[in-house]
Amino acid sequence: MIQVENLWKKFHRHEALRGLSFNVPAGSAYALIGANGAGKTTTIKTIMNILQPTEGRVTTLGVDSRRLSPAEFATIGYVSENQDMPPALTVGQYLDYLRAFYPDWDDALEASIRRELSLPADRKIADLSHGMRIKVALACALSFRPKLLVLDEPFSGLDPLVREEFMSELLSQAGETTVLISTHELGEIEGVASHVGFIDEGRLLFEQSMEDLTARFREVRVTLDREAVLPREIPTSWLHVRPIGSLITFVDSTFSETGLAERVHAQFAGVRNIETEPMSLRSIFTTLARAARNGAL
């Protein structure tokens, strides 16, 4: 659905994107994660032809992003945390205005979304809270059943109830639409994302399916029968290694039950116990972000 190939974007001397490449499979929910300033929004704006790449190429819906036509845009939904909407129009007037641009607009679906999100048709957009404006943007983006839905930090500043309503409406169309979402609210997407790409300082450190990603990361605690001393050389796949008395803790980024035990016993004498625990996407992200900052990736 989206192919990003060796993408560079420069703003004067600042390189926001540096050789970025990744693919969003059709039917997937692809989460682009990274710290603030990593290049997520610049990437999305390039995919949507809001920005032009300095070098490289983006293909969106099989078309060079720089040549997206009204026909392609009529199948792409877009929601941004800073989305502009005409403040003088009411919610109903704005939806009426947009309807003519989308041949596949579904009036029944629009009405259902408006009910589910409790959108007041007669309220002016200028009088809506930030959370209500985001819900209006989502209703506009979903009512024509888009092939591709692009969400740029949609949860920023939303209260928990609005987030839950947003995700509930998004999940109602799961499977029908390919979703690309950039966010730092990782807890919200853990049950939604099928693929994850981790971007840091304009470069993609890795991309992987959520299933494979969560399978290969484990928090590990090794108990020794003596004071823990770290060897000079430790496996590069062990991240954030810390000795605490007779305990060694670390994150194994290439986890396997048998492989871990063999490596632990090869590194340490007097191993009494090895415990492992699955990690949330948030924990995986913070571990990788710390490793990237320290030059361990």
Instruction: Give me the residue spans of the domains in the chain.
Output: 2-209, 218-278
Q: What is the pTM of this model?
A: 0.86
* SS3 category, 56: strand
Q: Is 138 left (phi over 0), alpha (psi -120 to 50) or beta?
A: alpha
Query: What pLDDT is attached to residue 10?
Result: 95
Indicate the class that CATH gives domain 2-209.
alpha beta
Question: From CA 117, how far away is CA 131, in angstroms rounded?
Answer: 11
Say if CB 246 and CB 223 are below 8 A apart.
yes
Question: From CA 272, how far away is CA 42, in angstroms rounded?
Answer: 49
Question: Which stretches of 48-125 are DSSP H helices?
Answer: 70-73, 91-99, 107-116
Query: What pLDDT is attached to residue 81?
Result: 85
Q: How many CB atoms lie within 10 A of CB 2?
A: 22
Q: What is the side-by-side strand order in the sheet with 63-64?
A: 14-24, 2-11, 55-60, 63-64
**Residue among 111, 24, 121, 125 nearest 65 (CA):** 24
Q: How many CB atoms lie within 10 A of CB 49?
A: 18
Both tokens of 199, joined, read: 């971007």
Query: What pLDDT is attached to residue 133?
Result: 92
Q: Please provide residue 145's backbone torsions phi and psi, each rounded to the nearest 5 degrees.
A: 50, 70
Say if CB 292 and CB 38 are below 8 A apart.
no
Query: What pLDDT is attached to residue 259?
Result: 87
Query: What pLDDT is attached to residue 154?
Result: 84
Output the tens digit of pLDDT for each of the chain's 297 residues. 999 999 999 998 899 999 999 999 999 999 999 888 889 999 999 999 999 999 999 999 999 999 999 999 999 999 998 889 999 999 999 999 999 999 999 999 999 999 988 999 999 999 999 889 999 999 999 999 999 999 998 877 777 787 788 777 777 766 679 999 998 777 778 878 899 999 988 999 889 999 999 999 999 999 999 898 888 888 999 999 999 999 999 999 999 888 899 999 999 999 999 999 999 988 998 898 888 777 766
**Residue among 70, 34, 75, 29 nearest 178 (CA):** 29
DSSP 65: G
* SS3 category, 150: strand
Query: What pLDDT is attached to residue 164?
Result: 81
